[in-house]
Amino acid sequence: SKKLADHIWFNGEIIPWEKATVHVLTHAIHYGSSVFEGVRAYDTPDKGPCVFRMQEHTRRLFDSAKVYRMTIPFTEEQINQATLDILRKNNLKSAYIRPIAFYGDIGMGLQVPFGTETDLAIAAFPWGAYLGDEALKNGVDAGVSSWNRLAANTMPTGAKAGGNYMSSQLISMEARRHGYGEGIALDVNGYVSEGAGENLFVIRNGVVATTPKTAAILPGITRDTVMTLLREMGYEVREENIPRESLYLADEVLMCGTAAEVTPVRSVDGIPVGNGGRGPITEKVQSAFFGLFNGQTEDKWGWLTPVE
Element containing residue 137 per DSSP (H, E): helix 133-138
Pick between residue 183 and residue 220 the one whose CB is nearest to ligand PMP: 220
Catalytic one of 47, 93, 160, 213: 160
**116 vs 245: CA distance, rounded Å:** 47
3 state DSSP class of 153: coil
Pick between residue 49 and residue 197 the one whose CB is nearest to ligand PMP: 197
**49 vs 58: CA distance, rounded Å:** 18
Q: Taking each helix axis from N to C terminus, what angle separates 54-67 and 76-89, rounded to the nearest 10 degrees?
A: 130
Residue 210 interacts with ligand PMP (CB under 6 A): yes or no = no
Selected binder of ligand PMP within 106, 140, 221, 304 (CB under 6 A) = 221
39-44 and 48-52: which strand pairing? antiparallel
Pick between residue 112 and residue 226 the one whose CB is nearest to ligand PMP: 226
Q: Which residue is nearest to ligand PMP (CB)?
A: 220
Site for ligand PMP in 98-157 (CB under 6 A): none
Residue 199 interacts with ligand PMP (CB under 6 A): yes or no = yes
Pick between residue 106 and residue 121 the one whose CB is nearest to ligand PMP: 121
Interface region with ligand PMP, contact rule CB under 6 A, candidates 2-10, 118-126, 138-146, 217-225: 217-225
Selected binder of ligand PMP within 194, 202, 250, 292 (CB under 6 A) = 194
182-186 and 140-144: which strand pairing? parallel
Apex 160 CA angle, 256 and 116, nearest 5: 160
**DSSP 8-state assignment for residue 197:** S
66 catalytic, yes or no? no
Interface region with ligand PMP, contact rule CB under 6 A, candidates 67-75, 174-182, 193-201, 239-247: 193-201
Pick between residue 87 and residue 97 the one whose CB is nearest to ligand PMP: 97
3 state DSSP class of 99: strand
Selected binder of ligand PMP within 197, 264, 274, 279 (CB under 6 A) = 197
Amino acid at 294: N
Nearest Cα neighbor of 240 from 283, 285, 203 is 203
Residues 6+ apart with CB under 8 A from 21: none
Residue 264 interacts with ligand PMP (CB under 6 A): yes or no = no
Residue 257 interacts with ligand PMP (CB under 6 A): yes or no = yes
Radius of gyration of the chain (CA): 19
Pick between residue 80 and residue 258 the one whose CB is nearest to ligand PMP: 258
Q: Are 145 and 276 in contact (CB under 8 A)?
A: no
Residue 182 interacts with ligand PMP (CB under 6 A): yes or no = no
Site for ligand PMP in 72-101 (CB under 6 A): none
Selected binder of ligand PMP within 99, 181, 220, 264 (CB under 6 A) = 220
Site for ligand PMP in 277-306 (CB under 6 A): none
Residues 6+ apart with CB under 8 A from 297: 229, 288, 289, 291
- Residue 151 CA, distance from chain mean position: 20
Residue 187 interacts with ligand PMP (CB under 6 A): yes or no = no
Q: What does the binding site for ligand PMP look like in residue numbers (CB under 6 A)?
A: 38, 168, 194, 197-199, 218, 220-223, 257-258
Query: Catalytic residue numbers?
Result: 160
